[in-house]
RNA sequence: GCUGGCGUAGCUCAGUCCGGUAGAGCAGCUGAUUUGUAAUCAGCAGGUCGGGGGUUCAAGUCCCUCCGCCAGCUCCA
């Protein structure tokens, strides 16, 4: 009999008969391993346990603890869902059902949209099928037979998939879950050996989707779910979704009196006094950071003639998101970005090489006429402002400037206790300019990243067509990722706007433009901060830093003087002068997440003190007013963080359905 | 923009299936209470049921339409 030699991860090897199944290799290693086995990795390819080994090579058994296990299990769970749906909805057509970062989905064409009760029924059916521990069996069908089979069964989408995915193959692989109705699906696999291995899954929601994600194609019903290898991981994930819901900035924004919306101004926030305070704290914080870093603050017009947008290219590429206005027969647009205004401003003067880099910072409002369906709380709005800036540099200054920017990013995210990662995006297929210029620019970005000690990943070909860029994802207290900062090199617009500087050689030269934002839109960043801190802002950000709570009316005068002293010391102090019991006032202040409550009664009025109660630590005892002020100012100065992280899920980052790493790159230009 | 769900008092929600002139809790207001570390008691007031149109003797409830919100999709210089 022919034999093959398999090499195991520990370096040892065994000789087994040709066509030995992966399962049997596991069995040969240890029965326990065979029992735990979910799949195999043969020469680096993930395969079923039933995969026959035909040639010498490496074999690794995939178990619960392997990194491959989770996506595998999710994919198999998607199949289980499809099996359940075909049971419950005879005639349902199956689309595709992949594993995703958070779980899985499967798309179906059905007669009517799914409702929540359908999800319950599906999940119940899935649990039944899992309890029966039905095997996932791989079958190789002649291609034409498979097509004929799916065509006959009324699944033209599957026929289309076979056509597209297996051109030139004689056989295609299908998987069946051997239940009484024998659910069969065209699929490359692999899958877990049987449905009994799927122990922790939950269907989450349904939504509309289109075949191949194209709105011109048939609308389908998508069912989202998630699955884990262990029940405790699923529970942790669901807990985290709950936690994310509790932190939802839309809910907290209302409860904490920060902002509101009105249907007559969709996509634009109304900032209430406390929200406006927070907004201004952030805006001024950015000014405080950027001014010493060599930036100047400018203000440029909100509305420009169409001619400007034609020059910048926005008219050709971005018009659908621009709010147009007619004025005296001229077409104008509210600015969606600051860049063109900054170019005009730069070009309004002659610049010497001695003055570069020139860094324009601007916080005026922008308007992007986003499609109504994409608006969402503060994270996707039509009106917002940014910590926007454009740095005009000589080509040889790029490296230094990027390095300075990386340090700014480090410092700023550090102040908010946000972890982050960096991504370098390089030359796309369609690009402007010379390859040599691109290579040089990418090299300078890499060098700057390394010099600044900034870890990063590379996204090949994901740069803007006018230049490479570095994007940053921040991770909040419950593990969700959000894209905020972006640093983009631009070689195109200096030409478009004929920007120049006079060099040491007394000749005219083109500067390079660096577009950059660090917090991005203040609106969106505030949403992130609300969810990051769960509304309990550290003292330096809290709209109300301390509230004075008199015990009874006779302490009002003293309480007011305490409040006034706080204000005089630059602290945001308030006074609760309602005739309520102290417990009531404390409860309210606590729910409003005010960092410090200062209780004043007979003792305190007599001694000139306050009883300090902290939001997180409870009663701190008496303190002189001056001592409290000194302590609070120190806490503000150090930006001490009091974020409230929760236990992280053991196997995955938390998400909130609408929140995670939105794809809307800060669309700067 | 597309698909689906939703829209009742400031907030959270009941009432909508089977049409018969709106209900609770919290918040608010008024009064009493003068209070020591997470909710004092009582009373009062509050809604063109998202807007418009239609069906009907009668519409929060049924139909059409518009707007907004939510979840996705799509888009994202």
CA dihedral over A551, A553, A555, A561, signed as positive or negative = positive
CATH code of the domain containing A453 = 3.30.930.10
CATH code of the domain containing A613 = 3.40.50.800
Q: Is the CB of A245 under 7 A from strand B?
A: no
Determine the protein residue whose CA lies at the shortest distance from the C1' of B75.
A371
Q: Is the CB of A583 under 7 A from strand B?
A: yes
Mean pLDDT taken over chain A: 86
Give residue A17's domain range: 3-62
CATH code of the domain containing A10 = 3.10.20.30
Residue A553: nearest nucleotide (C-alpha to C1'): B34
The confidence score (pLDDT) of residue A180 equals 60
CA dihedral over A203, A206, A211, A215, signed as positive or negative = negative
Considering the domain architecture, whether residues A511 and A588 belong to the same structural domain is answered as: no
Residue A590: nearest nucleotide (C-alpha to C1'): B38
Q: Is the CB of A290 under 7 A from strand B?
A: no
Instruction: Encode pLDDT of A82-103 as tens digits.
Output: 888 888 887 778 888 888 878 8
DSSP E strands, A261-329 = 270-271, 296-297, 303-305, 324-327
Q: If pLDDT is split at 50, 70 and 90, which confidence band does A651 have?
A: very low
- Is the pLDDT assigned to residue A510 strictly greater than 70? yes
The confidence score (pLDDT) of residue A529 equals 94
What is the C-alpha separation between A190 and A46, in angstroms, rounded? 7
Residues of A serving a catalytic function are 339, 368, 386, 388, 390, 469, 515
Per the structure, how many domains does chain A have?
Answer: 4
How long is the CA A581 to C1' B41 vector, in angstroms? 13
What is the crossing angle of helices A273-290 and A398-415, to 10°? 140
How long is the CA A576 to C1' B31 vector, in angstroms? 20
| Integer CA distances (angstroms), A260 to A91, A153, A278, A369, A658, in order | 46, 52, 14, 19, 19
pTM score, whole prediction: 0.86
Task: Say if A219 falls within a structural domain.
Answer: yes
Q: Is the CB of A149 under 7 A from strand B?
A: no
| Integer CA distances (angstroms), A502 to A151, A348, A485, A508, A538, in order | 71, 14, 31, 5, 47
Task: Say if A541 falls within a structural domain.
Answer: no
How long is the CA A554 to C1' B30 vector, in angstroms? 22
CA dihedral over A240, A241, A243, A249, signed as positive or negative = positive
Please report where in the chains the tokens 């669309």 appear, as a residue. A667
What is the C-alpha separation between A556 and A399, in angstroms, rounded? 60
Q: Which helix (H) or strand (E) holds A587?
A: helix A582-591
Q: If pLDDT is split at 50, 70 and 90, which confidence band does A181 have?
A: low
What is the C-alpha separation between A189 and A187, in angstroms, rounded? 5
The confidence score (pLDDT) of residue A308 equals 93
Task: Say if A661 falls within a structural domain.
Answer: yes
- Is the pLDDT assigned to residue A565 strictly greater than 70? yes
The confidence score (pLDDT) of residue A179 equals 67
Q: Which helix (H) or strand (E) holds A225?
A: strand A219-228
Considering the domain architecture, whether residues A132 and A190 belong to the same structural domain is answered as: yes
- Is the pLDDT assigned to residue A479 strictly greater than 80? no
The confidence score (pLDDT) of residue A656 equals 27
Highest mean pLDDT of the ranges A42-51, A536-545, A641-650? A536-545
Considering the domain architecture, whether residues A591 and A567 belong to the same structural domain is answered as: yes
Considering the domain architecture, whether residues A515 and A650 belong to the same structural domain is answered as: no
Which of A266, A553, A552, A538 shows the shortest CA–CA distance to A382? A266
Q: Decide: helix, strand or coil at residue A542.
A: coil
Residue A621: nearest nucleotide (C-alpha to C1'): B37
Considering the domain architecture, whether residues A514 and A613 belong to the same structural domain is answered as: no
- Is the pLDDT assigned to residue A63 strictly greater than 80? yes
Q: Is the CB of A133 under 7 A from strand B?
A: no
The confidence score (pLDDT) of residue A655 equals 28
Considering the domain architecture, whether residues A149 and A170 belong to the same structural domain is answered as: yes
Considering the domain architecture, whether residues A7 and A92 belong to the same structural domain is answered as: no
What is the C-alpha separation between A16 and A311, in angstroms, rounded? 70
């Amino acid at each position: 009999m022919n034999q093959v030699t398999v090499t195991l991860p520990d370096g040892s090897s065994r000789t087994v008969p040709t066509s030995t199944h992966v399962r049997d290799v596991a069995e040969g290693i240890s029965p326990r391993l065979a029992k735990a086995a979910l799949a195999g990795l043969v020469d680096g390819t993930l395969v079923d346990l039933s995969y026959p080994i035909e040639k010498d090579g490496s074999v690794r058994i995939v178990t619960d603890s392997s990194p491959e296990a989770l996506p595998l299990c999710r994919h198999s769970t998607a199949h289980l869902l499809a099996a359940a749906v075909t049971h419950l909805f005879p005639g349902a057509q199956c689309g595709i059902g992949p594993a995703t970062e958070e779980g899985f989905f499967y798309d179906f064409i059905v007669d009517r949209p799914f409702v929540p009760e359908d999800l319950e029924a599906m999940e119940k059916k899935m649990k039944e099928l899992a309890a029966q521990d039905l095997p996932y069996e791989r079958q190789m069908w002649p291609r034409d037979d498979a097509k004929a089979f799916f065509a006959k069964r009324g699944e033209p989408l599957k026929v289309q998939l076979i056509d597209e995915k297996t051109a030139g193959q004689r056989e295609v692989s299908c998987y069946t879950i051997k239940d009484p109705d024998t659910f069969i699906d065209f699929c490359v696999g692999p899958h877990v050996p049987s449905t009994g291995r799927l122990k922790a899954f939950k269907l989450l929601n349904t939504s509309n989707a289109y075949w191949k994600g194209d709105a011109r194609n048939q609308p389908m019903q998508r069912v989202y779910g998630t699955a884990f290898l262990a029940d405790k991981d699923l529970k942790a994930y669901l807990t985290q979704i709950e936690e994310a819901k509790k932190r939802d900035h839309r809910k907290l924004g209302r409860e904490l009196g920060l902002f509101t919306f009105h249907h007559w101004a969709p996509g634009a926030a109304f900032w209430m006094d406390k929200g406006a305070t927070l907004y201004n704290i952030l805006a001024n914080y950015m000014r405080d950071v950027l001014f010493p870093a060599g930036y100047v603050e400018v203000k440029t017009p909100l509305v420009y003639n169409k001619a400007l947008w034609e020059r910048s290219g926005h008219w050709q590429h971005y018009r659908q998101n621009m709010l147009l206005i007619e004025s005296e027969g001229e077409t104008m647009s509210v600015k969606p970005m600051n860049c063109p205004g900054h170019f005009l401003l730069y070009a309004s003067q002659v610049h010497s090489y001695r003055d570069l880099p020139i860094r324009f910072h601007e916080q005026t409002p922008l308007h992007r006429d986003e499609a109504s369906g994409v608006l969402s709380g503060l994270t996707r709005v039509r009106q917002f402002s940014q910590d926007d800036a454009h740095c005009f540099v000589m080509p040889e200054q790029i490296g230094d400037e990027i390095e300075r920017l990386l340090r700014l990013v480090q410092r700023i995210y550090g102040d908010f206790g946000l972890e982050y990662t960096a991504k370098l995006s390089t030359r796309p297929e369609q690009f402007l300019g010379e390859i040599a210029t691109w290579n040089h620019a990418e090299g300078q970005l890499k060098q700057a990243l390394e010099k600044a000690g900034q870890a990063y990943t590379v996204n090949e070909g994901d740069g803007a067509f006018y230049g490479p860029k570095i994007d940053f994802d921040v991770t909040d207290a419950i593990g969700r990722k959000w894209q905020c900062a972006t640093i983009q090199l631009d070689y195109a617009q200096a030409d478009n706007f004929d920007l120049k500087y006079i060099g040491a050689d007394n000749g005219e030269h083109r500067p390079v433009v660096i577009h950059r934002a660090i917090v991005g839109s203040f609106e969106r960043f505030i949403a992130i901060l609300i969810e990051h801190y769960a509304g309990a802002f550290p003292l330096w950000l809290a709209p109300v830093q301390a509230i004075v709570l008199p015990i009874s009316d006779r302490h009002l005068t003293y309480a007011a003087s305490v409040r006034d002293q706080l204000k005089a010391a630059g602290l945001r102090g308030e006074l609760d002068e309602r005739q309520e019991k102290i417990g009531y006032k404390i409860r309210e202040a606590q729910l409003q997440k005010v960092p410090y409550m200062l209780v004043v009664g007979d003792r305190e009025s007599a001694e000139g003190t306050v009883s300090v109660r902290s939001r997180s630590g409870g009663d701190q005892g008496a303190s002189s007013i001056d001592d409290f002020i000194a302590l609070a100012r120190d806490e503000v100065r150090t930006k001490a963080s009091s974020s409230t992280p929760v236990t992280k899920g053991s196997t995955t980052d938390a998400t909130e359905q609408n929140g995670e790493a939105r794809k809307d790159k800060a669309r700067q230009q």
